[in-house]
Amino acid sequence: MAARWRDWPDPRFVVCVLDNRDLAEVSWEQRETEGEPRFPASQDLPPVPYDRWAELLDLRGLRVASPRDMGSAWSTALSADRPTVIHAVVDPAVPLLPPAQPYDKIAPMFAGLSAEEGAEARRAEGHLRRERADEGYDDPPAGS
């Protein structure tokens, strides 16, 4: 129990919360299995200040909003005199995708993304195409 950290011989304990303010597993599975666009009304999460909440519990709280700051946050957390919560604000457009999936498994995801409007959906599609290309896949363009 983190509330009793003062009794621990080594109170260093780090929890890293990856916060994209989305029910990400649901959003990506809906696209992958159903080929449907994200449904924001049921998948957007309210903002939660995890770092400030940790401070209320007398833990250390750190907020990281840029990948370039992650290394220093981990260094600070691992040298802290108490348990630390790293609240990492991450991009909801980064796909949750196991590697080496055949195109027929990914095609519905592309269909769901193409049915979505807005910059976040285009960014997600770009991330997905880059991930796939990095794995050596040459997926057809959307709508093919």
- pLDDT category at 144 given cuts 50, 70, 90 is low
C-alpha 124/C-alpha 129 separation (Å) is: 9
The arithmetic mean of pLDDT across residues 123-133, rounded, is: 94
At 96 the pLDDT is 84
The arithmetic mean of pLDDT across residues 116-122, rounded, is: 93
Sign of CA dihedral 117, 123, 124, 129: positive
Report pLDDT digits (tens) over 53-108. Answer: 999 999 999 999 999 999 999 999 999 999 999 999 999 999 888 889 999 989 99
Share of the chain above pLDDT 90, in %: 72
Find all residues with CB under 8 Å of 129, minimum gap 6, and list them: 139
C-alpha 106/C-alpha 92 separation (Å) is: 18
